[in-house]
Amino acid sequence: MSGKGLVTPGPTMKARSKVAVEDPQLQAALSNLDLRLFTAGVVQAEHPEWKDRVAEIRRETLADLDGWIDKLEAKLLSLGVVVHRAATPEEARAYILGLAQREGVRRVVKSKSMATEEIDLGSALEAVGIESIETDLGEYIVQLADERPSHMITPAIHKTLGQIADVLSKEAGTELPVVREPLTAWARDKLREKFVAADMGITGANFVAADTGTIVVVTNEGNGRFCTSLPRIHVAVVPVEKVVPRFEDLGVLLPTLVMSATGAKMSNYLSMVTGPRREGEIDGPEQLHVVLLDHNRRVLLGTPYEDMLGCIRCGACLNVCPVYRTVGGHAYDSSYSGPMGKILTPLVTGGEEGRDLPFASTLCGACTEACPAEIPLADLLVRLRADLRTPGPVVVPGAQKPAPPPALPVGPVGHSDEHPRKPGEGFATAVTRITVPTRRAPWSQRRMGFDAWSRLWAHPSAYRASLRVGRLGAKALRPRAGWVQRAPLLRAWTDTRDVLVPSGPTFRERWAARERGEERW
Amino acid sequence: MPRVALFATCLVDAVSPETGVASVRLLEAAGCEVEFPAAQTCCGQPAVNSGEPEAATRLARHFVEVFEPFDAIVAPSGSCAAMVHHWYTRLLDGGWRQRAQAVADKTFELSQYLVDELGRPDLGASLGGTTVTVHDACHGLRNLGLKSSARTLLETAGAEIIEMVEPEMCCGFGGTFAVKYEEISAHLADDKLDHGAQTGARYLTSGDGACLMHLEGRRRRTGTGPECVHFAELLAGGLP
């Protein structure tokens, strides 16, 4: 999405995976950390009841998402927060850039946020000459390396310590030791300077409570707190599904998120921001802006993909995924990687990006098992394979048909008490690239092939005939049966594995021979 | 005497008939009367996993028609049995969904049927002195909840089970994934074979022939790892 550097470049997931498997540095970085140990079943093992409660809260939220967004917006406005509803990344970026330029912002500090990655905000700020510094240590490292994060919780997990020392040394202009503590200390000093000098702090939000208007930012380094308290303007970019109905819901959501992400009981820092600085308070921003981002999410409500909006971005599905653990995050070439990324990327981009991602899965189901929000990730991957069959927008059964484009004042000004939102004004659903099935959609070669195959194999006689043809083919092409290293038409298999070429009777032939008394088992 | 319909699976029928023969021998050793409905073909899983649910639905209907007359349906594959359990009711609707649910309720993976349904872990097989490590094939494990039944059969026969690191990690087969993403697929096979080799066991076994064909093919290419054999063949080899 961003065009930022990838350690495993390539035009397709397949090409990038090949690079990843053959990259010894990346393989060393991935194998040094047994990701699965972070999270394996911690929540399930220690608090089996949390998972159901989390899923229940998420489903309750999604059942009336627009209602909760309205409640949240009303609460935020009453706290003096400026709210902007953005249908697209372009709108979100335009609003934030407009605000920054209006306010004369020159330096921005960012706390790690998947939503700002999704809208590629950092590059947009840099493009207009505003310095934008990532303040999560891992994210800072990948920013200095001009790369994108490769894991939503641990952004630089694809780098070895030596590679990290190189990146930081280059920035420092002196050779730093290849030792964790001094490297971290150097980055800490550097980032402190950035925090103090910043005019604007930009964060995402792990959750936002609709009843109190509280924005929750979870970090382990305290950088989220600096970003939300030091600069005079704080902007939180919040995808719509981050809303939770009640502050008290955080009681189960937060520990579930942290345990699923890192295995720890709680994060080192937990920042809760409720409105901008009030009279008499000594810190906090003068202005607080919340950008609510839709980007093809609300159109998924009521469809089989609604469950995906229950994702709490814990990364558990990445950590247990055999594919992620083999190729790392850059192979996905998307803000979101791993199983959730394979689903969310084509959905939020309406099929413009990541169309090949759903196929890069063994469908082993480890992601579904690990997900603390009970999202049937493996099933959604299977569904997406079908719903991406025809070129163009993702075809989603049951999606609301896009409304005609409303005349929207997509202006630089958000909604506040002085500029109330007019009825009907909000997310422009017309920009969606999610569509509904039509009868006239052209069939792909794959579809024609499977259609013909299933018609044949629904007839036992045709099935038996195809087995006989297969046997004749094997006989004609291979003088030897059994395990062979090369076989015509099977290169994709035999490039990496031997193949078993059958020669004797099929099972059904042996069964018939036994029935006739010619064979004894 | 329980009457059991064997769903051999297309892979066993076409490529590894020995697994089917072994399955019949085990079921008969457990006192079952085994039938092989000749009209059976494929469960349709390749189609649904390739994003072709209509083609899969056609084969799902055929499966339901062929197997619904029987008391129990047993397959030597957790993945094919899981297809019936997990996907048929999602693919079919109306009256077909009810028929599919009824068929799914009496469809079992082989070890599941012998141990959990019949309660016959002792088949009279003798595998004393044989060391085995078990790969938990994904769909049987996660869709059917299979974990202990194949191990119980092997241990009851006297085999020694040496557990590998991460027995629940995918072997990398994944149907068409094995040929679409062969580099990742082979990498995962190597991890599994390395973990198997570390146990020192003579055999790496599992309840899914497709995983084993992928692993054995890789083992023959690289020379690393224990011999990969379906548990039914190991057990049948120990029958008197």
Which pLDDT tens digit goes with each residue over A117-147? 999 999 999 999 999 999 999 999 999 999 9
Task: Give residue A214's identity as a one-letter amino acid code.
Answer: T
Residues of A in contact with B13 (CB under 8 A): 467, 506-508
Instruction: Give yes or no: residues B101 and B190 share one domain.
Output: no
Residue B210 lies in a domain: yes
Secondary structure letter of residue B39 according to DSSP: T
Is there a contact between B77 and B9 (Cβ–Cβ < 8 Å)? yes
Note down the domain range covering B51: 3-117
Is there a contact between A521 and B238 (Cβ–Cβ < 8 Å)? no
Q: Which of A476, A474, A484, A477 is nearest to A504 (CA)?
A: A474
Residue B166 lies in a domain: yes
As for the ipTM of the complex, it is: 0.97
A483 contacts chain B (CB < 8 A): yes
Q: Verify whether the Cβ–Cβ distance A451 to B52 is below 8 Å.
A: yes
Q: How confident is the model at residue A236 (pLDDT cuts 50, 70, 90)?
A: very high
Two tokens, residue B123: 């088949």
Q: What is the pLDDT of residues B28-87, one digit of tens each?
A: 999 999 999 999 999 999 999 999 999 999 999 999 999 999 999 999 999 999 999 999
Q: What is the pLDDT of residues A73-99, one digit of tens each?
A: 999 999 999 999 998 999 999 999 999
**Residue in chain B nearest A492 by alpha carbon:** B179
CA–CA min distance A31, chain B (Å): 11
In this prediction, the residues of chain B whose per-residue pLDDT falls under 50 are none
Residue B126 lies in a domain: no
Q: How confident is the model at residue A418 (pLDDT cuts 50, 70, 90)?
A: confident
Instruction: Give yes or no: residues B74 and B112 share one domain.
Output: yes
Last-in-domain residue among B93, B117, B141: B117
- To the nearest 10 degrees (0 to 180), the angle between helices A180-197 and A161-172 is 40
| Per-domain residue ranges of chain A | 445-515
Q: Between A and B, how many CB-CB pairs are < 8 A?
A: 188
Secondary structure letter of residue A240 according to DSSP: G
Q: Verify whether the Cβ–Cβ distance A446 to B50 is below 8 Å.
A: yes
Give the one of A17, A453, A496 whose C-beta lies nearest to B221's C-beta. Answer: A496
Handedness of CA A204, A209, A210, A211 (dihedral sign): negative
Instruction: Give yes or no: residues B138 and B216 share one domain.
Output: yes
DSSP letter for each residue of B182-212 = HHHHHHHHHHHHHHHHHHT-SEEEES-HHHH
Instruction: Give yes or no: residues B20 and B67 share one domain.
Output: yes
A475 contacts chain B (CB < 8 A): no
Q: What is the pLDDT of residues A270-292, one digit of tens each?
A: 999 999 999 999 889 999 999 99
CA–CA min distance B58, chain A (Å): 6
Instruction: Give yes or no: residues B110 and B135 share one domain.
Output: no
Task: Give residue A168's identity as a one-letter amino acid code.
Answer: L
Is there a contact between A331 and B183 (Cβ–Cβ < 8 Å)? no
Run of H or E residues at B46: helix B45-49
Q: Which of A378, A383, A339, A352 is nearest to B52 (CA)?
A: A383
How far apart, in whole angstroms, are the C-alpha atoms of residue A137 and residue A276?
A: 26
For chain B, what is the total number of helices (H) and then of strands (E)?
Answer: 14, 8
Instruction: Give yes or no: residues B100 and B155 share one domain.
Output: no
Residues of A in contact with B61 (CB under 8 A): 458
Instruction: Give yes or no: residues B17 and B97 share one domain.
Output: yes
Instruction: Give yes or no: residues B35 and B138 share one domain.
Output: no
Give the one of A36, A365, A458 whose C-beta lies nearest to B143's C-beta. Answer: A365
Residues of B in contact with A496 (CB under 8 A): 182-183, 185-186, 189, 218, 221
Residue B139 lies in a domain: yes
Which CATH number fits the domain that encloses residue B199? 3.40.50
- Judged against a pLDDT cut of 60, whether residue A407 lies above it is answered with no
Q: Span A462-472, mean pLDDT?
A: 92
DSSP letter for each residue of A98-121 = HHHHHTT--EEEE---HHHHHTTH
Residue B21 lies in a domain: yes
Q: Which residues 377-396 of chain A have a CB within 8 Å of chain B?
A: 379, 382, 384-389
Q: Verify whether the Cβ–Cβ distance A389 to B16 is below 8 Å.
A: no
Instruction: Give yes or no: residues B38 and B142 share one domain.
Output: no
- φ and ψ at residue A500, rounded to 5 degrees: -90, 115
Residue B125 lies in a domain: no
A contact test, residue of B4, B12, B15 with most A CBs within 10 A: B15
Q: Which alpha helices (H) appear in A405-501, and where do they start and end?
A: 445-457, 460-477, 491-494
- Judged against a pLDDT cut of 60, whether residue A229 lies above it is answered with yes
Residues of B in contact with A499 (CB under 8 A): 217
Sequence-separated contacts (24+) of B65-69 with Cβ below 8 Å: B66/B37, B66/B39, B66/B40, B67/B5, B67/B7, B67/B37, B67/B40, B67/B103, B67/B107, B68/B99, B68/B102, B68/B103
**Residue in chain B nearest A363 by alpha carbon:** B174
pLDDT attached to residue A47: 87
Q: Verify whether the Cβ–Cβ distance A450 to B169 is below 8 Å.
A: no
A443 contacts chain B (CB < 8 A): no
Last-in-domain residue among B117, B147, B171: B117
Q: Verify whether the Cβ–Cβ distance A467 to B58 is below 8 Å.
A: no
pLDDT attached to residue A409: 45
Task: Give residue B157's identity as a one-letter amino acid code.
Answer: A
**Residue in chain B nearest A34 by alpha carbon:** B166
Q: Verify whether the Cβ–Cβ distance A507 to B59 is below 8 Å.
A: no
Instruction: Give yes or no: residues B16 and B43 share one domain.
Output: yes
Q: Which of B160, B166, B161 is nearest to B188 (CA)?
A: B166
pLDDT attached to residue A439: 75
CA–CA min distance B171, chain A (Å): 9
Write the Ramachandran bin of A275: left for phi over 0, alpha for psi from -120 to 50, otherwise beta: left
Give the one of B53, B62, B186 whose C-beta lies nearest to A496's C-beta. Answer: B186
Last-in-domain residue among B59, B91, B117: B117
Instruction: Give yes or no: residues B43 and B73 share one domain.
Output: yes
Q: How many domains does chain B have?
A: 2
Residue B123 lies in a domain: no
CA–CA min distance A288, chain B (Å): 45
Give the one of A387, A454, A511 whose C-beta lies nearest to B55's C-beta. Answer: A454
Q: Which of A224, A234, A225 is nearest to A80 (CA)?
A: A234
Task: Give residue A61's identity as a one-letter amino acid code.
Answer: T
Token pair 């991460």 is at which residue?
B166
User: What is the C-alpha radius of gyration for chain B, rounded to an integer number of angstroms?
Assistant: 17
A507 contacts chain B (CB < 8 A): yes
Higher-pLDDT residue of A188 and A392 is A188
Residues of A in contact with B213 (CB under 8 A): 500
Q: Verify whether the Cβ–Cβ distance A457 to B42 is below 8 Å.
A: yes
Is there a contact between B22 and B236 (Cβ–Cβ < 8 Å)? yes
Q: Verify whether the Cβ–Cβ distance A364 to B170 is below 8 Å.
A: yes
pLDDT attached to residue A33: 64
CA–CA min distance A93, chain B (Å): 35
Instruction: Give yes or no: residues B94 and B150 share one domain.
Output: no
